[in-house]
Amino acid sequence: MTLTIILYILGLALTVAVILVARKAIKKHNKKMRRMHGPNWCIGLYEGPDPLTLFPAKGVTNPILKAADVTNMTSRLVADPFMVKHNSEFVLFFEMMEKKSGKGDIGYATSPDLKTWTYGGTALSEPFHLSYPYVFLHEGEHYMIPEAGKSNEMTLYCASTFPHTWERTATILKGTDRTAPLQDPSVIHHNDHWYLFSYAPQTKNLHLFTASNLKGPWNEHPNSPLIKESRHYARPGGRVIHYSNAIYRYAQDSVPSYGSKVWGFRITELTPATYREEQTSNNPIIQAGNEAWNNKGMHTIDPHQMEDGRWIAIVDGIGDGIGATAP
Protein backbone atom coordinates (compact mmCIF):
# COMPACT_ATOMS: atom_id res chain seq x y z
CA MET A 1 0.00 0.00 0.00
CA THR A 2 1.50 3.29 -1.10
CA LEU A 3 1.80 6.34 1.08
CA THR A 4 -0.74 8.15 -1.12
CA ILE A 5 -3.39 5.49 -0.51
CA ILE A 6 -2.69 5.49 3.22
CA LEU A 7 -3.06 9.25 3.40
CA TYR A 8 -6.26 9.06 1.36
CA ILE A 9 -7.78 6.49 3.73
CA LEU A 10 -6.75 8.51 6.77
CA GLY A 11 -8.21 11.66 5.25
CA LEU A 12 -11.47 9.88 4.44
CA ALA A 13 -11.71 8.50 7.97
CA LEU A 14 -11.06 11.94 9.41
CA THR A 15 -13.76 13.46 7.19
CA VAL A 16 -16.30 10.85 8.30
CA ALA A 17 -15.39 11.45 11.94
CA VAL A 18 -15.80 15.21 11.56
CA ILE A 19 -19.20 14.73 9.89
CA LEU A 20 -20.39 12.44 12.69
CA VAL A 21 -19.22 14.86 15.39
CA ALA A 22 -20.88 17.77 13.58
CA ARG A 23 -24.15 15.87 13.25
CA LYS A 24 -24.10 15.06 16.95
CA ALA A 25 -23.41 18.70 17.82
CA ILE A 26 -26.21 19.91 15.55
CA LYS A 27 -28.62 17.39 17.03
CA LYS A 28 -27.69 18.49 20.55
CA HIS A 29 -28.09 22.16 19.60
CA ASN A 30 -31.49 21.57 17.99
CA LYS A 31 -32.64 19.66 21.05
CA LYS A 32 -31.56 22.55 23.26
CA MET A 33 -33.41 25.06 21.05
CA ARG A 34 -36.59 22.96 21.20
CA ARG A 35 -36.24 22.76 24.97
CA MET A 36 -35.77 26.50 25.34
CA HIS A 37 -38.20 27.84 22.75
CA GLY A 38 -40.59 25.04 21.75
CA PRO A 39 -44.06 24.13 23.05
CA ASN A 40 -44.46 23.86 26.81
CA TRP A 41 -46.04 21.36 29.18
CA CYS A 42 -48.52 22.71 31.76
CA ILE A 43 -50.85 21.10 34.30
CA GLY A 44 -54.65 21.20 34.26
CA LEU A 45 -57.71 19.88 36.10
CA TYR A 46 -60.28 17.55 34.52
CA GLU A 47 -63.39 15.94 36.00
CA GLY A 48 -66.04 13.38 35.11
CA PRO A 49 -68.45 10.69 36.31
CA ASP A 50 -65.70 8.07 36.27
CA PRO A 51 -61.93 7.86 35.67
CA LEU A 52 -62.48 6.87 32.04
CA THR A 53 -64.72 9.82 31.11
CA LEU A 54 -62.92 13.07 31.74
CA PHE A 55 -63.42 16.66 30.58
CA PRO A 56 -62.02 20.08 31.53
CA ALA A 57 -63.34 20.92 35.01
CA LYS A 58 -66.12 23.50 35.19
CA GLY A 59 -65.35 26.75 36.94
CA VAL A 60 -61.61 26.22 36.60
CA THR A 61 -59.22 28.19 34.44
CA ASN A 62 -56.70 25.77 32.96
CA PRO A 63 -53.81 25.44 33.24
CA ILE A 64 -53.85 25.41 37.02
CA LEU A 65 -50.04 25.36 37.12
CA LYS A 66 -47.44 26.46 34.58
CA ALA A 67 -43.69 26.92 34.34
CA ALA A 68 -43.92 30.62 35.18
CA ASP A 69 -45.31 29.64 38.62
CA VAL A 70 -41.98 28.06 39.56
CA THR A 71 -40.07 30.73 41.47
CA ASN A 72 -36.76 29.14 42.50
CA MET A 73 -35.52 28.22 39.03
CA THR A 74 -36.10 29.25 35.42
CA SER A 75 -38.28 26.29 34.53
CA ARG A 76 -38.96 25.16 30.98
CA LEU A 77 -42.10 23.21 31.89
CA VAL A 78 -44.21 21.54 34.56
CA ALA A 79 -45.44 18.02 33.78
CA ASP A 80 -46.04 14.48 35.09
CA PRO A 81 -48.46 15.51 37.87
CA PHE A 82 -49.28 13.27 40.85
CA MET A 83 -51.35 14.44 43.81
CA VAL A 84 -52.17 13.34 47.35
CA LYS A 85 -54.49 14.86 49.94
CA HIS A 86 -52.76 15.72 53.19
CA ASN A 87 -54.85 16.92 56.14
CA SER A 88 -57.07 19.66 54.70
CA GLU A 89 -55.08 20.49 51.57
CA PHE A 90 -54.13 18.95 48.26
CA VAL A 91 -50.43 18.52 47.50
CA LEU A 92 -49.33 18.20 43.89
CA PHE A 93 -45.94 16.88 42.79
CA PHE A 94 -44.58 17.34 39.29
CA GLU A 95 -41.49 17.47 37.12
CA MET A 96 -39.97 20.90 36.60
CA MET A 97 -37.13 21.31 34.13
CA GLU A 98 -34.35 23.88 34.41
CA LYS A 99 -34.50 25.76 31.13
CA LYS A 100 -30.82 25.97 30.22
CA SER A 101 -29.53 22.60 31.39
CA GLY A 102 -32.65 20.52 30.78
CA LYS A 103 -32.23 18.80 34.17
CA GLY A 104 -35.44 17.80 35.90
CA ASP A 105 -36.25 18.17 39.60
CA ILE A 106 -39.45 17.39 41.49
CA GLY A 107 -41.45 20.40 42.61
CA TYR A 108 -44.62 20.68 44.66
CA ALA A 109 -47.61 22.99 45.00
CA THR A 110 -50.54 23.12 47.43
CA SER A 111 -54.21 24.02 47.16
CA PRO A 112 -57.23 24.17 49.48
CA ASP A 113 -59.78 23.68 46.67
CA LEU A 114 -58.03 22.22 43.57
CA LYS A 115 -58.59 25.51 41.74
CA THR A 116 -55.97 27.86 43.19
CA TRP A 117 -52.46 26.51 43.59
CA THR A 118 -49.43 27.91 45.39
CA TYR A 119 -45.97 26.78 44.38
CA GLY A 120 -44.12 25.42 47.40
CA GLY A 121 -40.59 24.77 46.16
CA THR A 122 -38.37 21.81 45.36
CA ALA A 123 -39.46 18.52 46.87
CA LEU A 124 -36.63 16.37 45.53
CA SER A 125 -33.41 17.09 43.65
CA GLU A 126 -30.61 14.72 42.69
CA PRO A 127 -27.45 15.10 40.60
CA PHE A 128 -29.35 13.33 37.79
CA HIS A 129 -32.61 14.04 35.96
CA LEU A 130 -35.88 13.31 37.80
CA SER A 131 -39.45 13.17 36.48
CA TYR A 132 -42.77 11.28 36.90
CA PRO A 133 -43.00 11.60 40.73
CA TYR A 134 -45.36 8.70 41.48
CA VAL A 135 -46.48 9.62 45.01
CA PHE A 136 -48.70 7.43 47.18
CA LEU A 137 -49.67 6.75 50.80
CA HIS A 138 -49.04 3.38 52.45
CA GLU A 139 -49.50 2.52 56.13
CA GLY A 140 -49.46 6.17 57.11
CA GLU A 141 -46.25 7.01 55.22
CA HIS A 142 -45.85 9.00 52.01
CA TYR A 143 -43.73 7.28 49.38
CA MET A 144 -42.46 8.36 45.98
CA ILE A 145 -41.01 6.41 43.07
CA PRO A 146 -39.79 8.98 40.54
CA GLU A 147 -38.34 8.21 37.16
CA ALA A 148 -34.55 8.48 37.38
CA GLY A 149 -33.39 6.42 34.43
CA LYS A 150 -30.13 8.33 33.99
CA SER A 151 -29.04 7.10 37.42
CA ASN A 152 -29.41 3.50 36.16
CA GLU A 153 -31.66 2.80 39.13
CA MET A 154 -35.26 2.94 40.25
CA THR A 155 -35.44 4.18 43.84
CA LEU A 156 -38.15 4.22 46.50
CA TYR A 157 -38.22 7.39 48.62
CA CYS A 158 -40.08 8.03 51.87
CA ALA A 159 -41.02 11.49 53.16
CA SER A 160 -39.22 12.36 56.38
CA THR A 161 -40.83 15.81 56.42
CA PHE A 162 -43.76 15.91 54.03
CA PRO A 163 -43.89 17.32 51.42
CA HIS A 164 -40.41 18.77 50.99
CA THR A 165 -37.90 16.30 52.45
CA TRP A 166 -37.48 12.76 51.11
CA GLU A 167 -35.07 9.98 52.02
CA ARG A 168 -33.95 7.03 49.94
CA THR A 169 -35.52 3.89 51.33
CA ALA A 170 -34.82 1.08 48.87
CA THR A 171 -33.49 0.34 45.40
CA ILE A 172 -36.22 -1.36 43.40
CA LEU A 173 -34.46 -2.02 40.08
CA LYS A 174 -31.09 -1.46 38.47
CA GLY A 175 -30.13 -1.21 34.81
CA THR A 176 -27.17 -0.08 32.76
CA ASP A 177 -28.63 0.88 29.37
CA ARG A 178 -31.82 2.00 27.60
CA THR A 179 -33.10 -1.57 27.43
CA ALA A 180 -33.62 -1.43 31.21
CA PRO A 181 -37.28 -0.79 32.15
CA LEU A 182 -36.70 2.24 34.38
CA GLN A 183 -39.08 4.81 32.87
CA ASP A 184 -42.43 5.94 34.31
CA PRO A 185 -42.70 3.49 37.26
CA SER A 186 -46.35 3.01 38.24
CA VAL A 187 -47.24 0.91 41.26
CA ILE A 188 -50.38 -0.54 42.86
CA HIS A 189 -51.07 -2.73 45.92
CA HIS A 190 -53.54 -5.53 45.21
CA ASN A 191 -54.46 -8.63 47.24
CA ASP A 192 -51.41 -8.35 49.51
CA HIS A 193 -48.98 -7.99 46.62
CA TRP A 194 -47.28 -5.04 44.98
CA TYR A 195 -47.23 -4.66 41.22
CA LEU A 196 -45.02 -2.21 39.35
CA PHE A 197 -45.36 -1.30 35.68
CA SER A 198 -42.40 0.33 33.91
CA TYR A 199 -41.19 1.10 30.41
CA ALA A 200 -38.02 0.20 28.50
CA PRO A 201 -37.40 3.00 25.96
CA GLN A 202 -35.04 1.12 23.65
CA THR A 203 -37.33 -1.88 23.12
CA LYS A 204 -40.58 0.03 23.71
CA ASN A 205 -41.73 -2.75 26.03
CA LEU A 206 -44.03 -2.61 29.05
CA HIS A 207 -42.61 -4.62 31.95
CA LEU A 208 -44.30 -5.81 35.16
CA PHE A 209 -42.62 -6.60 38.48
CA THR A 210 -44.06 -8.05 41.69
CA ALA A 211 -43.15 -8.04 45.37
CA SER A 212 -44.75 -9.07 48.63
CA ASN A 213 -43.07 -6.11 50.36
CA LEU A 214 -42.86 -2.59 48.97
CA LYS A 215 -39.15 -2.43 49.75
CA GLY A 216 -38.49 -5.64 47.86
CA PRO A 217 -37.16 -7.89 46.66
CA TRP A 218 -38.89 -7.29 43.32
CA ASN A 219 -39.13 -10.00 40.69
CA GLU A 220 -40.20 -9.78 37.08
CA HIS A 221 -43.66 -11.19 36.40
CA PRO A 222 -43.72 -14.39 34.29
CA ASN A 223 -45.86 -12.63 31.67
CA SER A 224 -43.46 -9.69 31.40
CA PRO A 225 -42.93 -7.92 29.09
CA LEU A 226 -46.68 -7.47 28.81
CA ILE A 227 -46.50 -5.42 25.60
CA LYS A 228 -43.63 -5.42 23.12
CA GLU A 229 -42.42 -2.83 20.63
CA SER A 230 -45.37 -0.47 21.01
CA ARG A 231 -45.27 3.32 20.84
CA HIS A 232 -49.04 3.32 21.42
CA TYR A 233 -49.78 1.28 24.54
CA ALA A 234 -46.60 0.30 26.39
CA ARG A 235 -45.52 3.44 28.22
CA PRO A 236 -47.31 4.19 31.53
CA GLY A 237 -49.31 7.41 31.53
CA GLY A 238 -50.53 7.91 35.08
CA ARG A 239 -51.72 6.32 38.29
CA VAL A 240 -52.84 2.68 38.35
CA ILE A 241 -56.18 2.55 40.20
CA HIS A 242 -58.91 0.34 41.61
CA TYR A 243 -62.33 1.19 40.19
CA SER A 244 -65.61 -0.71 39.87
CA ASN A 245 -64.21 -4.10 40.92
CA ALA A 246 -61.31 -3.90 38.48
CA ILE A 247 -57.88 -2.35 38.09
CA TYR A 248 -57.14 0.22 35.44
CA ARG A 249 -53.90 1.49 33.96
CA TYR A 250 -53.20 4.35 31.59
CA ALA A 251 -50.81 4.31 28.63
CA GLN A 252 -49.36 7.36 26.90
CA ASP A 253 -49.24 7.29 23.11
CA SER A 254 -46.19 8.57 21.24
CA VAL A 255 -47.86 8.49 17.81
CA PRO A 256 -47.81 10.72 15.80
CA SER A 257 -45.60 12.53 18.32
CA TYR A 258 -44.47 12.16 21.92
CA GLY A 259 -47.25 12.64 24.46
CA SER A 260 -50.13 12.90 22.01
CA LYS A 261 -52.85 11.10 23.99
CA VAL A 262 -53.61 8.61 26.80
CA TRP A 263 -55.42 5.26 26.51
CA GLY A 264 -57.18 3.25 29.22
CA PHE A 265 -56.82 -0.48 29.95
CA ARG A 266 -58.93 -2.65 32.26
CA ILE A 267 -56.86 -5.29 34.03
CA THR A 268 -59.15 -8.29 34.39
CA GLU A 269 -56.67 -10.65 36.04
CA LEU A 270 -53.67 -9.75 38.17
CA THR A 271 -51.80 -12.26 40.31
CA PRO A 272 -48.10 -12.99 40.81
CA ALA A 273 -48.46 -15.66 38.11
CA THR A 274 -51.13 -14.36 35.70
CA TYR A 275 -52.07 -11.18 33.85
CA ARG A 276 -54.89 -10.20 31.51
CA GLU A 277 -56.12 -6.83 30.28
CA GLU A 278 -58.43 -5.29 27.71
CA GLN A 279 -58.58 -1.86 26.16
CA THR A 280 -61.45 0.17 27.59
CA SER A 281 -62.36 1.97 24.37
CA ASN A 282 -61.28 2.71 20.82
CA ASN A 283 -61.15 6.35 21.88
CA PRO A 284 -58.40 7.81 24.08
CA ILE A 285 -59.23 8.97 27.60
CA ILE A 286 -57.57 12.35 26.97
CA GLN A 287 -55.96 13.89 23.92
CA ALA A 288 -55.01 17.25 22.44
CA GLY A 289 -57.67 19.88 23.16
CA ASN A 290 -58.71 23.16 21.62
CA GLU A 291 -56.97 25.45 24.10
CA ALA A 292 -53.49 26.90 23.81
CA TRP A 293 -52.18 25.00 26.83
CA ASN A 294 -52.98 21.49 25.49
CA ASN A 295 -53.53 21.78 21.74
CA LYS A 296 -50.55 19.57 20.88
CA GLY A 297 -51.07 16.66 23.24
CA MET A 298 -51.63 15.26 26.75
CA HIS A 299 -49.78 12.39 28.41
CA THR A 300 -50.47 11.95 32.16
CA ILE A 301 -53.63 11.25 34.19
CA ASP A 302 -53.78 11.16 38.00
CA PRO A 303 -57.43 10.38 38.92
CA HIS A 304 -59.04 10.69 42.36
CA GLN A 305 -62.59 10.06 43.54
CA MET A 306 -63.97 12.87 45.68
CA GLU A 307 -66.22 12.53 48.71
CA ASP A 308 -69.31 13.43 46.65
CA GLY A 309 -68.62 10.53 44.27
CA ARG A 310 -67.40 12.51 41.27
CA TRP A 311 -63.97 11.98 39.81
CA ILE A 312 -61.30 14.59 39.25
CA ALA A 313 -57.99 14.12 37.47
CA ILE A 314 -54.82 16.13 37.45
CA VAL A 315 -53.56 16.06 33.86
CA ASP A 316 -50.85 17.66 31.77
CA GLY A 317 -50.89 19.12 28.29
CA ILE A 318 -48.50 20.57 25.77
CA GLY A 319 -49.37 23.65 23.76
CA ASP A 320 -48.12 26.65 21.85
CA GLY A 321 -45.83 28.23 24.37
CA ILE A 322 -48.29 29.05 27.17
CA GLY A 323 -46.70 29.23 30.58
CA ALA A 324 -43.18 29.57 29.28
CA THR A 325 -40.70 31.68 31.09
CA ALA A 326 -39.07 34.48 29.15
CA PRO A 327 -36.25 33.38 26.80
Please check whether residue 308 lies inside any domain of the structure.
yes
Q: Please say whether the beta carbons of 280 and 266 come within 8 A.
A: yes
- Shared-domain flag, residues 62 and 30: no
Lowest mean per-residue pLDDT among 15-19, 30-34, 222-226, 258-262: 30-34
d(Cα 22, Cα 198) in Å, to the nearest integer?
34
**Does residue 296 have a pLDDT over 80?**
yes
- pLDDT for 156 equals 99
- Shared-domain flag, residues 250 and 116: yes
Full residue range of the structural domain in which residue 178 is found: 40-319
- Shared-domain flag, residues 85 and 29: no
- pLDDT for 33 equals 45
- Shared-domain flag, residues 83 and 28: no
Once rounded to an integer, what is the mean pLDDT over residues 113-132? 98
| 215 exposure class (CB count in 10 Å sphere: 0-12, 13-18, 19+) | middle
- The neighbouring-strand residues paired with 270 are 275
For 68, residues 6+ apart whose C-beta sits below 8 A from its C-beta are 323, 324, 325
- Shared-domain flag, residues 12 and 44: no
Mean pLDDT rounded to a whole number for the chain:
92
The alpha-helical segments, DSSP class H, found in 159-214 are none
Pair type for strands 118-124 and 131-138 = unpaired
**Does residue 181 have a pLDDT over 70?**
yes
- Shared-domain flag, residues 237 and 192: yes
Once rounded to an integer, what is the mean pLDDT over residues 77-89? 98
d(Cα 323, Cα 122) in Å, to the nearest integer?
19
d(Cα 270, Cα 247) in Å, to the nearest integer?
9
Once rounded to an integer, what is the mean pLDDT over residues 71-88? 98
Once rounded to an integer, what is the mean pLDDT over residues 283-307? 97
- pLDDT for 323 equals 47
- Nearest C-alpha neighbor of 102 from the set 167, 156, 29: 29
**Does residue 297 have a pLDDT over 60?**
yes
Reported for 272-276, long-range contacts at CB under 8 A and 24+ positions apart, including other chains, are 272/193, 272/210, 272/221, 273/222, 274/223, 275/208, 275/221, 275/223, 275/226
Q: Return the number of other C-beta atoms located less than 10 Å from residue 177's C-beta.
A: 10
Q: Please say whether the beta carbons of 43 and 314 come within 8 A.
A: yes
Q: For 19-70, what is each residue's pLDDT tens digit? A: 666 566 545 544 554 444 568 999 999 999 999 999 999 999 999 999 999 9
Q: Please say whether the beta carbons of 137 and 84 come within 8 A.
A: yes
- pLDDT for 86 equals 97
- Shared-domain flag, residues 50 and 101: yes
- pLDDT for 124 equals 99
- pLDDT for 327 equals 28
- Shared-domain flag, residues 133 and 80: yes
Once rounded to an integer, what is the mean pLDDT over residues 216-237? 99
- Shared-domain flag, residues 169 and 194: yes
Once rounded to an integer, what is the mean pLDDT over residues 72-76? 97
Please check whether residue 327 lies inside any domain of the structure.
no
C-alpha distance across the termini of the chain, in Å: 56
Please check whether residue 184 lies inside any domain of the structure.
yes
CATH code, domain with 74: 2.115.10.20
- Shared-domain flag, residues 161 and 281: yes
Q: Please say whether the beta carbons of 142 and 156 come within 8 A.
A: no
Pair type for strands 89-98 and 75-86 = antiparallel
- Shared-domain flag, residues 148 and 30: no
Please check whether residue 147 lies inside any domain of the structure.
yes
Q: Please say whether the beta carbons of 198 and 154 come within 8 A.
A: yes
Question: Could you tell me what percent of the chain has a pLDDT over 70?
Answer: 87
Please check whether residue 325 lies inside any domain of the structure.
no
Number of domains in the chain: 2
Please check whether residue 324 lies inside any domain of the structure.
no
**Does residue 268 have a pLDDT over 70?**
yes
Look at residue 268 and give its three-state secondary structure.
strand
- Shared-domain flag, residues 160 and 295: yes
- pLDDT for 320 equals 84
**Does residue 1 have a pLDDT over 70?**
no
What is the SS3 string spanning 217-263?
Answer: CCEECCCCCCECCCCCCCEECECCEEECCEEEEEEEECCCCCCCEEE
Please check whether residue 64 lies inside any domain of the structure.
yes
Please check whether residue 89 lies inside any domain of the structure.
yes
